[in-house]
Chains A and B, each alone.
Chain A
Amino acid sequence: MSGLDNNNDDYPESGPSDAERHALDHGDFRPEDLDPARPIAEDFEIAPDFVDSALDRVLADQAKIASEADRVDDFEVPGEWRTAYPVPDISPDFVSRVAAKIESARQEAASHGASRAASAHDAEHRSADWQAILANYSPPEVTPDFVNRTLDALRTDRSGLRAVPPAPESRAGGAARRRAAVTVLTSLAAAALVALGLALGGLFDSGPVPSPVAGMGKDAEHTWTTASFSPTPWSTELMRNAGGANFVPFEPVAAFNLAALEVR
């Protein structure tokens, strides 16, 4: 115990070191932390004789304790020391008061326990409800040949694009609004990419440059990504190959002649 313990606000404890924290967490030090040759800090070195001097002090302390312990009965405490220093009378109702308080604390704890159990039960139900919602939710069906059809149409005639079939009645409402929001966001993101795609297409394609295609989708980690490309023969083939197994059309944006692609 040190005097600094009395001034916690002025001298906040720095807490255990990394090595000590590891020892506390794992019940042992890491082997590298036990290496005596490992430096602690640039300007700090352990004294070469630290182990010897520490051991000397420990042994001296142990010897002193053993010597004092051997003499514990040297002095017999006089009986009058006990009688001359009595304790005050205890309130007659002390036991009853404490017993009542303990019972009250028990009931309160039980009440909190019941409350916690009820909360857990509610959470379980909410979770079950959520699972049911997820189980009943599925993304809209997409025309099986959408990718190929879209890419072919873009390569040849943009009039070949057609809108995604309307959502089934059961998915109207919230799903429709969600799709609309996604469409707007996709359009905005794609619009920016169209400009980029135009620039890139102009740089790398010497022939006639059709309008670029922008896509927006999620990768395997469900991270939203966007892509744009000019539908030249090589880029179309590339996207077709990539999309063969992994790409599924998500939302076509006919107004911009764009296709939103979702990566599964």
Chain B
Amino acid sequence: MTDLDRQTIERAQAGDQAASREIIQKLHRPIIATIYRFLGSRFRSEVEDIAQDIFLKVFRSIERFDPDRGVKFSTWVYTFVRNHCFDIIKRKRLRTTSLSVTRDAEEGQIEVPDERAALPGKRMQNTELGEKIEEALAGLGEDQRMAFVLREYEGLDYASIAEVMGVSEGTVKSRLHRAKEALRTRLEPYMRTGA
């Protein structure tokens, strides 16, 4: 993703409305796409509200962004996306977790059974493969899923993903490898049939 120019960011930091609009205009599509693919279609009706909340958080903190630190502005914004999405998952888990949780041995994370699996008819997906991709993504650990979405759908480089996730590039690559292996296994039947 091409980053916003420094002048625009500095104007937005100074409270310039036009610059703020420019930032929203430039980033809203990838942010909404990331939220949608990370959280899944069950959040479809809330995705724009979630994106709006993220922008509010970004602009509340925009004065703290330091261009001289060497981190791209869009990468910095993605840290808000990641944290906000993880918070939503956490809150959702607090509401829905039951004794049926299963442990992801590799990541040490608790995964909540995806309620969408029981409601296939209510999904709003374009294709059968799309539905299966969403199901497969939902079965990944959160860190793997976020890394996969940022890399494969939003095209972030490893260094940027590492910055967003707060881990090393090696860890990002490791998570991506695991994510792709898991997805390949789950989606292989649909790939064979050509979906």
Name A's B-contacting residues (CB within 8 A): 1-3, 6, 8, 64-66, 68-72, 74-75, 77-78, 80-82, 84-88, 90-91, 94-95, 97-99, 101-103, 105-106, 109
Contact = CB atoms under 8 A, between A and B. Distances in A.
B173 A90 contact: no
A66 B173 CA distance: 9
Contact of A80 (B29, B124, B195): B195
21 contacts: A1-B109, A1-B110, A2-B110, A8-B94, A68-B177, A70-B173, A72-B173, A72-B174, A75-B180, A80-B195, A82-B152, A84-B133, A85-B153, A90-B48, A95-B21, A95-B28, A98-B55, A98-B56, A101-B55, A103-B17, A105-B59
Contact of A101 (B56, B93, B126): B56
Contacts of B187: 81
Q: Is the interface of A mostly helix, strand, loop or mixed?
A: helix
B81 interface: no
B47 interface: yes
B174 to A, nearest CB: 4
B145 to A, nearest CB: 13
A88 B44 contact: yes
B15 interface: yes
A105 B47 CA distance: 20
Interface size on B, as a range, is 35 or more
Interface in B148-185: 152-153, 169-174, 176-178, 180-181, 183-184
Contacts, number: 118
A174 B32 CA distance: 69
Given A1-B110, A84-B133, 20 more contacts: A6-B110, A65-B171, A65-B174, A69-B171, A69-B174, A69-B177, A72-B177, A72-B180, A74-B180, A77-B152, A77-B183, A84-B130, A85-B129, A85-B133, A85-B153, A86-B126, A99-B20, A101-B55, A101-B56, A103-B17
Given A1-B109, A1-B110, A72 B176 contact: yes
A82 B195 contact: no
Contact of B174 (A68, A77, A81, A102): A68
Contact of A102 (B25, B48, B55, B109): B55
A66 B170 contact: yes
A6 B93 contact: yes
Given A69-B177, A90-B29, A105-B59, A84 B129 contact: yes
Given A6-B97, A69-B173, A74-B177, A102 B59 contact: yes
A87 B33 contact: yes
B24 A98 contact: yes
A98 B32 contact: no
Contacts of A69: 169-174, 177
A105 B60 contact: yes
Scoring B44, B174, B181 by chain A CB atoms within 10 A of each residue's CB, the highest score goes to B174
B36 interface: yes
A73 B94 CA distance: 36
Contacts of A90: 28-29, 32, 48
Nearest to B12: A102
Contacts of B24: 95, 98-99, 102
